[in-house]
Structure 1
Amino acid sequence: MSTLYLVATPIGNLEDMSERGNRILSEVSLIAAEDTRRTRHLLTHYGISTPLLSYHAHNERGRRARVLVALDDGDVALVSDAGTPGISDPGNDLIAAVVERGHTVSPIPGPSALTAAVSVSGLVSGPFLTLGFLPRQKADRQRLIGQASVSPFPIVLFEAPSRLRSTLLALTDAWGNRPAALMRELTKRHEEIVWGTLDDLLARYADDEPRGEIVLVVGASAGDEAVDLSDAADLLQRLRRSGLSPSQAAREAASITGLKRSDLYELAQRSGGMSEAANPDSR
């Protein structure tokens, strides 16, 4: 029985690599890497010559078998392009396959953009919700943002610089002007952390598209977030604005709030401008 090690690697500063992580990478028979060029730079820096196998979202189905075969002969490491594998990165299906095959999986903890951002945000003191990277399709993005709008917890998400402004606009429209912190290029030379509100961030980056990887932490909404029918009316309006039909909005709101779908559909009808001939339960 062999072990698949999930090895955390630096998110920017090579000094953040752990001694244990280096040892594991030098001892395994193969390293499955999301970005082989980036990982090779890391290995060269530390004088490690372990063979690399490209393993990313676009080839993981075909490469999974090669990793499993390698595990039959020895230990294997999985690394993402930066940070901790398995968090908004490929690897979950591989882990399941490795366990099913009778091998073990072991984490080698270390750098993580998620935990680094949460720790410095000043907005998280308990549970929080992680959205990862928002979907590229507008309808899917709006739906996820609408679902998250009723969360009583701070929310963390990753975003590309080119989509930052549109995302901030969408968040402000759905969630209001909440406290927020933006982290850019964490642990790197040009690290930037901006605290304020969503409106502040919109103003800050109105004419200045940032560079580098971005983590956004948005504070929990103020006040009691217990969802009742009066709260659900606002949620229904947000879902409708995202392009959902009345019946679809009622169905989505029911899954988010736990309220009865029929009650939500009646509420949608009473709200005006949301009438629909067929009963939502017929869909």
Structure 2
Amino acid sequence: MTGTLYLCATPIGNLSDITFRVLDTLKEVDMIAAEDTRNSIKLLNHFEIKTPMTSYHEYNKVEKAEQIVGWLMSGKNIALITDAGTPAISDPGEVLVQKCFKAGIPVTSLPGCCALITALTLSGISARRFCFEGFLPAEKKERRFVLEELGREMRTIILYEAPHHLRKTLAELYEVLGERRITLCRELTKRFETVFPTTFEHAVAYYEKEEPRGEYVLVIEGIERSRIKLDEQAKWKEISIREHMQLYENQGMERKEAMKKVAADRGLSKREVYQALLS
């Protein structure tokens, strides 16, 4: 009989946020796979948990996942924990979960702390619809592609960022997304928890003088639908109405239909398009 993989959410700061269910599971499983055993031993010692640990992190996630799957197949029950929060969220745990599903190993998640949800609820920015991007890609071309995608995102955007990259990331976001409301959250649930609602312009100026400290969660308002429409209309102004008409007529569109399409593209009435063509 195979064992079970337990995804155990751990505190993101305040140790009192751990659940009774997670504590019971960490005590009862055969082994705990931890992102950083040196960090996790402090948590285990605090709650007097003696279960043996093994390391599972970004740099051994593929080969170590195979080993953990082997232990699970032999009947061992294993808990997976990250340094803070819920495993598999911007975390190598997702690789292990995928391999467990392929091998037919039961996986269950024990809910608890998650930095992105904590920050979203504190941000003062709409929580009805949101997307989570995690850390932006490091590779320049891919990073630019993701940033431009986010520039058209209407949902609230949530990102993670390290302190030594914060200034660069804020400047890039401001350049690509334009002025937006943003809430920067750091040290969540800890003694010096900071929630800083501001705008990109003010955030960039503020961190030119202040040294960023701690891990950040950035909550950014999405673009308004009306602004997307105005931006799309503005692009068409780079060519004349006559050239715009020619574009559609060259595609085989009837003149009347082309006028209707040009009017919609540019936010004009058909009469305005007609008058422009006459002139």
RMSD (Å) for aligned C-alpha atoms: 1.8
Q: Give runs of aligned pairs for residues 90-101 of structure 1, distance below 5 A.
A: 90-101=92-103
1:28 and 1:185 mapped to 2: Cα distance?
A: 30
Partner residue, 2:180 = 178
**What TM-score do you get using the length of structure 1 for normalisation?**
0.78
Q: Deviations over 1:169-208 (max 9, x none)?
A: 1111111110110001111122111011111211221121
1:44 and 1:6 mapped to 2: Cα distance?
A: 20
Partner residue, 1:147 = 149
1:82 aligns with 2:98: no
SS in 2 for 1:67: helix
Larger Rg: 2
Q: Which moved more, 1:163-172 or 1:216-225?
A: 216-225
1:145 and 1:152 mapped to 2: Cα distance?
A: 13
1:186 and 1:138 mapped to 2: Cα distance?
A: 30
1:102 and 1:132 mapped to 2: Cα distance?
A: 28
Q: Give runs of aligned pairs for residues 1-283 of structure 1, distance below 5 A.
A: 1-71=2-72, 72-224=74-226, 230=232, 233=235
Cα 1:85–1:233 shift into 2, 3 Å: farther
CA contact (8 A) 1:113 1:186 kept: yes
Q: Sequence identity, in percent?
A: 41
Structure 1 stretches of 5 or more lacking a match? 235-283
Structure 2 stretches of 5 or more lacking a match? 237-279
Number of residue-to-residue matches in the alignment: 234
Residue type at the aligned position of 2:56: Y
1:201 and 1:195 mapped to 2: Cα distance?
A: 9
Q: Deviations over 1:47-70 (max 9, x none)?
A: 001111110111011111221122
CA contact (8 A) 2:127 2:156 kept: no
Cα deviation for residue 137 of structure 1 reads: 2.5
Residue type at the aligned position of 2:189: T
Cα deviation for residue 120 of structure 1 reads: 0.5
2:230 and 2:182 mapped to 1: Cα distance?
A: 26
CA contact (8 A) 1:28 1:50 kept: yes
Cα 1:233–1:7 shift into 2, 3 Å: farther
1:229 and 1:207 mapped to 2: Cα distance?
A: 33
CA contact (8 A) 2:182 2:219 kept: yes
**What TM-score do you get using the length of structure 2 for normalisation?**
0.80
1:104 and 1:233 mapped to 2: Cα distance?
A: 52
2:104 and 2:234 mapped to 1: Cα distance?
A: 47
Q: Deviations over 1:195-251 (max 9, x none)?
A: 1111121122112122111000001123426669926949xxxxxxxxxxxxxxxxx
SS in 1 for 2:5: strand
CA contact (8 A) 1:9 1:79 kept: yes
CA contact (8 A) 2:32 2:81 kept: yes
Cα deviation for residue 162 of structure 1 reads: 1.1
SS in 2 for 1:58: coil
Cα deviation for residue 138 of structure 1 reads: 2.8
